[in-house]
Amino acid sequence: MAAKVESQISDALFRLAVHSLNEKP
């Protein structure tokens, strides 16, 4: 179960990083 949580967190951080890059002017 811990691995699944880590995977979800990793995916969330990846999406957040991509979103931040896309928001740059």
Distance CA 22, CA 3 (A): 28
pLDDT in tens, 1-25: 789 999 999 999 999 999 999 987 7
- Start-end of H helices in 1-25: 2-23
CA-CA distance, 23 to 17, in Å (whole number)? 10
The token pair at 5 is 């949580």
Predicted pLDDT at 17:
96
Give the pLDDT of residue 1.
Answer: 73
Looking at residue 1, the DSSP 8-state letter turns out to be -
